[in-house]
Structure 1
Amino acid sequence: MAPTSPSDDPLSDEGLERLFLPLNQASGILAAVSGGPDSVALMHALARWAALGRRPPVHVATVDHGLRPEAATEAAFVAREAALLNLPHRILVWTGSKPASGIQEAAREARYRLLVEQARQAGASHLVTAHTLDDQAETVMMRLARGSGLQGLAGMRRETDRQGIRHVRPLLGLPKSHLLDRCRLQGWRFVTDPSNADERYARVRWRRLMPLLAEEGLTAERLVRLAERAAQADEALDLKAGEALGRGAPRLEAGALSFEATSLTDEPFAIALRVLELALEQAGLDLDNSRLYRLEACTERLRQAAGAGEALSLTVAGAHLRLTPAGRVSVGPEPPRQRGR
């Protein structure tokens, strides 16, 4: 929907002040710009915002994954456009061997690793990307299809930490169409990535389905609202789980975290599950959403055994969970397996 007045336009001078409010306290800003219309609009918006007053220095970086022959040309294009805006620009190249499968996930990890390294080199405390409302809706659908819990359905957060660098997504509430229209209206040049139409990639296939879902009422806006509600519920569960774990007298010893099983048995299942997730995190372990069902099964078994006063030992995703007859749970790394046993 087009803004009804200049003050309603998120890319007006007034709108930019609201959009980039989290960036005012940055020591420096690194904008990831691929050359597509979303990131080009972000680059122009940041340049305009920086010209409106005393702002942190803005830098631009483009990642060349080395996966397409056009990528180097596109990165050079962004460099020229950034120079026209008086913004310093760096091209970051993903070198080394590339995996035969899972290439998109590997490229994503490499991209953020390179961007975080560049942010540190540039003295930037904040990394900014051009993820949009449409990107958020696609992310929610993909995670829903994988059976994610609330944490996954909350989608991408507007702000998150990446190894000490604050990652901000200021355009997360804006549809792609708004940014594309702005580029065309202002004459901002951009490139078109052919991989965005390659149906070998799951996100592209979901993108093709979105108009059909919208016809049934499942619009991108409603999916994003679902993500916002999931994030609110997720935050509440985190708070209550932290309180429940605290009541269990947690102790961290030799890389393992132990706590009273009452933190699991005296709480509703959803909070008990989050207590176990939090304990894994505090013990330095991680469980991705794809293994959520296994953690749910472990939580149920621990609650049943604790209620019966039984001992229990089980493993999940490299973690060893142990319940003593006295009712204390310990969470630590799984010991190395011995051959022949």
Structure 2
Amino acid sequence: MTGPPDDPVLPILAPWLGRSAGPVLLAVSGGPDSSALMQAAAALGGTAQVATVDHGLRPGSGAEADAVGRAAARLGLPHATLRWVGSKPGRGLQEAARTARYALLCAHAEAIGAGLVLTGHTRDDQAETVLMRLAAGSGTAGLAGMRAERVLAPGIVLGRPFLHLPKAILTAWCEARGIPYLRDPSNADPRFARGRLRAAWPALEREGLTPARLARLAERAARDEAALAAAAEHALEAALLPGPGRGGGLRLDGGALAALPDAVALRCVDRALARAGAAPRRLERLEALVIESLLPALRTGRPIRRTLAGMLVATDAAARVSFAPAPPRRQPADARLAAGGRRLLGKAGPPAYIGEVCTDGPDEPSDASVRGSHTPGIDR
């Protein structure tokens, strides 16, 4: 069953459900988007199961999960409530909640033998993601927003079948069929970046900054980033020198690296750092290393030594670039004080990453002053 030809939902979801030989896990919070996902999956048949993540961050979240369970039972779909237990962080609550959500969904998918997890993210969510990453200073990888699908874990794919649909279509689809759904008032709470952003949409749209255009920006950024990533991977393989570098790690032909366009060289070094075992890298610090230090040094024949993300990056007289674990360094207390505070060092804003470090929606501020009783993403 695929529904009538003019149905905006069933024909989009049907191919996703047909991809998996085993059960498909639906992440349903009870908002209009995920409620439409659950109802449409039930109408199409198959072997879908439902999971609701209860973050336990506000009163009533357990009752909402129970309501989703009852709705799933009426549709004949197995349901599980996945609870985020244990202590919650004092900072970065939204990011931690997102990480916990996908970890819980992944574990449950493994338990039931599901190779596909579907969420109800919409074009509106994509637009919010792009706009918030734009405000964070992200490059093209961040502006590409959420992917329609990505690997969640070995053998498990996360899919977003409604990513190109406006939220209003899913809401209207539910209302036309009398399908009840929940609304989380904290999504409009001005203490949270998402709430402030939603309040600003009318003004942004009057200037032409519509969700549709931001979603198109994400598509274009994803296309360009894919081309740059492929070029960087090819360049890295061509520049790799045989044998381990000094202290382990790896080495690159600096002449080949210096001949690359800056955007490709930046990604090539990022991949080299990842292969050498570096920690995640903030984009602005990677740019400072590659664009401001490494490439000028290689192009003028000057040796340099820099550290980034726990790695020592150094050049030698033969224009070889080595990547190896940086030696531990202790900084005297007076030197730390002289360095100034986070804001003076330019570290107060949200980080932007060159790669797929943040891929699942906009981050909220991590400052403790904006924390409240909030369940992330109930309208997803």
TM-score of the pair, normalised by structure 2 = 0.81
Q: Distance in 1 between matches of 2:286 and 2:196?
A: 30
Instruction: Give the letter aligned to residue 270 of structure 2.
Output: E
The Cα shift of 1:36 comes to: 0.8
Offset of residue 251 of structure 1: 5.1
**Among candidates 12, 16, 35, match of residue 13 of structure 2:** 16
What is the one-letter code of the residue matched to 2:28?
V
Contact 1:9 / 1:15 at 8 angstroms: preserved in 2? no
Aligned-partner Cα distance in 1 for 2:208–2:4: 30
Give, as a single letter, the amino acid of the residue that structure 1 aligns with 2:63.
Answer: T
For structure 2, the residue ranges without an aligned partner over 5 or more in a row are 336-380
1:116-135 correspondence to structure 2 within 5 Å: 116-135=106-125
Matches within 5 A, 1:1-341: 6-12=4-10, 14-18=11-15, 20=16, 24-25=19-20, 27-49=22-44, 51=45, 55=46, 57-164=47-154, 165-250=156-241, 253=244, 256-288=249-281, 291-300=282-291, 301-338=293-330
Q: Which has the higher contact order (CA 8 A, sep 6+)?
A: 2
**Seq. identity, %:** 48
Distance 2:219 2:70 in 1: 37
- Is this contact kept in 1: 2:28–2:68, CA < 8 A? yes
Q: What per-residue deviation string (whole Å, max 9, x for no partner) do you get for residues 224-252 of structure 1?
A: 00000000000000111111111112557
Tell me the amino acid that sits aligned with residue 117 of structure 1.
A
Instruction: Return the letter of the residue paired with 1:104.
Output: Q
| Residue 310 of structure 1, CA deviation | 2.5
Q: For residue 7 of structure 1, give the secondary structure of its aligned residue in structure 2.
A: coil
Q: 1:27 to 1:256 in 2, by over 3 A?
A: farther
C-alpha separation in 2, matches of 1:179 and 1:99: 34
Gaps of 5+ in 1: none
Q: CA deviation at 1:24?
A: 1.1
Q: 1:159 to 1:250 in 2, by over 3 A?
A: farther
Change (3 A) 1:163 1:255: farther
Contact 1:8/1:15, CA 8 A, preserved across alignment: no
Distance in 1 of aligned mates of 2:103 and 2:242: 33
Q: Take 2:8 and 2:317, find their aligned partners in 1: how far apart are those partners?
A: 59
CA distance in 2, matches of 1:227, 1:270: 18
Structure 1 contact 10–16 (Cα < 8 Å) conserved: no
- Structure 1 counterpart SS, 2:260: coil
How far residue 108 of structure 1 moved from its aligned partner, in angstroms, is 0.8
Q: Say if 1:42 and 1:130, in contact at 8 Å, map to a contact too.
A: yes
Aligned partner letter, 2:65: A
Structure-2 separation of matches of 1:210 and 1:26: 41
Q: 1:186-225 CA distances to partner (integer Å, 9 max, x unpaired)?
A: 1111111122121211112112112211111111000000
- Contact 1:59 / 1:87 at 8 angstroms: preserved in 2? yes
Change (3 A) 1:163 1:222: same
Paired with 2:131 and 2:21, the residues of 1 have a C-alpha distance of: 33
One-letter code aligned to 1:262: G
Q: Partner of 1:307: helix, strand, or coil? A: helix
Q: Tell me the TM-score normalized by structure 1.
A: 0.90
Structure 1 residues 161 and 332: CA distance shift in structure 2, 3 A: farther
Considering fraction of residues, name the structure with more helix: 1
Deviation at 1:309?
Answer: 2.2
Assess if the C-alpha contact under 8 Å between 2:301 and 2:317 holds in 1.
yes
Matched residue SS, 2:217: helix
Q: Which moved more, 1:85-94 or 1:188-197?
A: 188-197
Contact 1:7–1:15 (8 Å) recurs in 2: no
